[in-house]
Amino acid sequence: MIERVLTELTIFMLAVWVGFEVISKVPSMLHTPLMSATNAIHGIVIVGAMLVAGALIGGAAGHAIGLAAMILATINVVGGFAVTGRMLQMFKAKPGPPK
Amino acid sequence: MTSAQNALLPAAYLVTGLLFIIGLKFLSSPARAKTGNLLAGIGMIVAVVATGFDSHILGWTDILIGGAIGALVGFVSARFVKMTAMPQMVALFNGAGGGAAALVSGGEFLKMFGVGRQLALGELLPIVLSTIIGALSFAGSIIAFVKLQEWMPGRPVTYTGQQIVNAVVLLAVIAIAVSLLLGAGPWFFVALVAAAALLGVLAVLPIGGADMPVVISLLNSFTGVAVAVTGFVLGNSVLIISGTLVGASGTLLTTLMARAMNRSLGNVLFGAFGSVKTAASGPAAASGGTVRTASVEDVATLLAYGRSVIIVPGYGMAVAQAQHAVRELAANLEKRGVDVKYAIHPVAGRMPGHMNVLLAEANVPYSQLHEMDEINPQFDSADVALVIGANDVTNPAARNMPNSPIYGMPILNVDAAQHVVVLKRSMNPGFAGIDNPLYENPKTLMLFGDAKDSVQKLASAVGSA
């Protein structure tokens, strides 16, 4: 148990460092897509939602929780990536033909 | 299960983690950002498919039904949301993630409780933490959405005894959490969710519209942390890595923005309690100067015969949906040989980089958009600074009025230009409720009216000049 927690804390620490490092050079122009992309990435909680929804434990309450978790997590993932993609589609270096 | 199968899941999660990191890295350059988003998306698919092979998954009904509903809702809202409504859309998706994290922890709690297992403190602590943070982020994001959607006033909501109420709710959250850690049952868990959600509501209510970018960014990082802690609950490395990445990057982004307003995060979150009185007494104290108004024709002439124009867009442009008209005006000016640039304040709009997205939507190339530090020295040599629906980010009170609530915030030095033209709906002060002495500057001309309407008229006047 304690070993597992220590390994997890190591992962956590390294991820904190990587998170700071990767973001520190993003120009403010891209802050909205960036925030939207990180927003999509925390949708990874869908993995946890799948495990809870697929576990078939806890009776009716368990079902409700699993189903709700799946719905919310999928909204987060699909909506997050779709909206980020839509935004980035619009960023152009040269003026395009007017719509 | 063979050892090869055992290694499959962690290996897939490793790939996911890597793709997320590389994807985020790519997002720092406009040219590669699209690829970055795609890579992160592939990482997500890898993780979902791999989890499908997890031996703990016994039934697929709830997963498939929930997934289908979520995918439909997520896709449709992402596809049809207006670019001006992006901040509240992101807030809503963020709330969904926070809610999911809290629910997953709830499910784990129920699972262990259901089989009558006594949970160790080390198992309970992450469950309780991710539930608190997740529920808080969920409810806070919903309030942020409601405010940005203007279903309720965007101004800070304050009342007497607010701090006491908040403190009581915070104490309740702590007390319930401690009872759970000491072995209390499922009803305490429900109470914890309710109290943490209430705390989220109360915490976001007193925060004003102009501070929303900071709040959304902070809630985003909260959800990241909630997901990371959920990873501790499940012993799942990919949740820990991804959640932490988001938590760390979100925290950094939040502090960067608070710094752009020259305020501490604490002041943004709790400042409304103290600043309401100052703001209320502001207008009376500073009025008395004269304001010069101009007609569309005056302004069009000024613009058309200038050599260089710097456009300063703000939230007002977004509200009026004027970005396409602005692009047309700029095109007409460029046809006449006028040099046009855009000055973007880091906190203009209702989320970081909001103006960039709106102007990109209107086909403005990002090479014309300039950040504050880059453009400020150029106002000196500009003939006209055209302020469209921006207020606080141009307010010289930030430079020279120590008693102003925004004193010390770095601003765009529009008053250094030869002429300043301000497009504004009326003389009402901005979101922050603070008077702007810029409007009484002798250099300044005011053009009142709906921003879209005014800009369209300007565009056609310049086009035929």
Mutate to test the interface with B, among A13, A16, A75 (most CBs of B within 10 A): A75
Q: Which amino acid does the sequence have at B180?
A: L
B106 neighbors B194 (Cβ within 8 angstroms): no
Residues in chain A: 99
Question: What integer pLDDT is reported at residue B277 of this predicted model?
Answer: 38
Q: Is B321 an 8 Å CB contact of chain A?
A: no
SS3 at position B420: strand
Question: What integer pLDDT is reported at residue B191 of this predicted model?
Answer: 96
DSSP string, chain A: -HHHHHHHHHHHHHHHHHHHHHHTT--GGGHHHHHHHHHHHGGGHHHHHHHHHHS--SHHHHHHHHHHHHHHHHIIIIIHHHHHHHHHHH--SS-----
CA distance B160 to B58: 53
Laid out side by side, the sheet with B369-371 consists of B369-371, B339-344, B308-313, B384-388, B419-424, B444-448
A19–B252 CB contact, under 8 Å? yes
Q: Hey, what's the torsion of the CAs at B328, B331, B336, B342, to 10 degrees?
A: 100
- B246: closest CA among A46, A60, A40? A40
B79–A20 CB contact, under 8 Å? no
Q: What would the pLDDT profile of A50-65 be if each residue is shown by its tens digit?
A: 999 998 887 888 899 9
Query: Residue B118 carries which DSSP code?
Result: P
Question: What integer pLDDT is reported at residue B263 of this predicted model?
Answer: 74
B316 neighbors B390 (Cβ within 8 angstroms): yes
CA distance B239 to B224: 9
Residue listed under structure tokens 């799946």: A70
CA distance A94 to B364: 8
In this complex, which of B59, B240, B245 lies closest to A41 when CB atoms are compared? B245
User: Residue A64 phi/psi, 5° resolution?
Assistant: -60, -45
- Helices B186-204, B86-114: crossing angle, 10 deg rounding: 160
SS3 at position B422: strand
Tokens of B49: 């498919």
Q: Is B10 an 8 Å CB contact of chain A?
A: no
Mutate to test the interface with B, among A38, A84, A86 (most CBs of B within 10 A): A38
CA distance B54 to B61: 16
Tokens of A75: 């909204």
B27 neighbors B37 (Cβ within 8 angstroms): yes
CA distance B380 to B343: 13
Tokens of B51: 């989890």
CA distance B39 to B16: 9
Question: What integer pLDDT is reported at residue B272 of this predicted model?
Answer: 59
pLDDT below 70 — which residues of chain B? Answer: 1-5, 209-210, 271-289, 428-434
CA distance A65 to A4: 27
- Helices A45-54, B86-114: crossing angle, 10 deg rounding: 40
Q: What would the pLDDT profile of A16-61 be if each residue is shown by its tens digit?
A: 999 998 887 777 778 888 899 999 999 999 999 999 999 888 788 8
| Strand partners of residue B371 | B344
Contact list, A29 vs chain B (CB under 8 Å): 30, 344, 353, 356, 366, 369, 371
Question: What integer pLDDT is reported at residue A98 of this predicted model?
Answer: 46
Contact list, B346 vs chain A (CB under 8 Å): 28, 31
- B2: closest CA among B53, B42, B72, B38? B53
Render the burial of B389-407: b for 16+ CB within 10 Å, e for the rest.
bbbbbbbbbbbebeebbbe
Tokens of B140: 């806070």
B330 neighbors B455 (Cβ within 8 angstroms): no
Question: What integer pLDDT is reported at residue B356 of this predicted model?
Answer: 86
